[in-house]
Amino acid sequence: MAYPFGLAVSALEKLHDKERMVGAISHVKELKERLPSYLEVLPAREDGTGGEIRPYNI
């Protein structure tokens, strides 16, 4: 059974509180827009250098 995207994100938001951190791995742009804090992982170049992790609102 497939669930609507908004329902899934609302469930993640309800799980987060002062004592718990909730994470998700996604390529979905709308998820990034709804999360207050996130990490963006940028891939390395073909030679294996230059990979990056960028924190936002953390």
Q: Which residues lie below 8 Å from residue 28, measured CB to CB, with a gap of 6+?
A: 5
Total structural domains in the chain?
1
Does residue 5 carry a pLDDT above 60? yes
What is the predicted pLDDT for the residue at 48? 92
The domain of 39 spans 5-56
pLDDT value at position 12?
A: 80
Q: 9-39 b/e with 16+ CB inside 10 Å = b? A: beeeeeeeeeeeeeeeeeeeeebeeebeebe
pLDDT at 2 over 70: no
Exposed (0-12), middle (13-18) or buried (19+): which is 8, by Cβ within 10 Å?
Answer: middle
